[in-house]
Amino acid sequence: MSEYSLYLVECRDGSLYTGIATDVSRRIKEHAQGAKGAKYLRGKGPLKLLYQQAIGDRSLASKVESRIKRLSKTQKSDVGRLPGLIASLIQELSVTNKER
């Protein structure tokens, strides 16, 4: 089973994109080339990888991604605080899954 990572990309226009992938560098290249990348990122290059962090399985990575996407741009831009925030989210989501 592959480990998923969460990544945060900054576009030329200053907008931020959050995604998950098993191979972040490959995924960034796909985004930059356009054909296999997210539609949102087409024409918004060059892309700058701001942050990446290994999360775990796809389910947990998707849940963390969803929570990060809900943050304000200011909160997402503060990459120094993201590791702690993500650690808290992982812990919260892990506890929630165990309770089910």
- What's the chain's average pLDDT? 90
d(C-alpha 90, C-alpha 29), whole Å: 27
Residue 28's pLDDT is 93
Radius of gyration of the chain (CA): 14
What is the domain-level CATH number for residue 53? 3.40.1440
Give the residue numbers spanning the domain of 54: 4-99
Pair of tokens at residue 89:
């989210």
Residue 98's pLDDT is 60
Amino acid identity, position 70: R
Q: Which of 57, 1, 5 is nearest to 26 (CA)?
A: 5
Query: Do residues 39 and 58 touch, judged by C-beta distance below 8 A?
Result: no
pTM: 0.88
Q: Number of folded domains in the chain?
A: 1
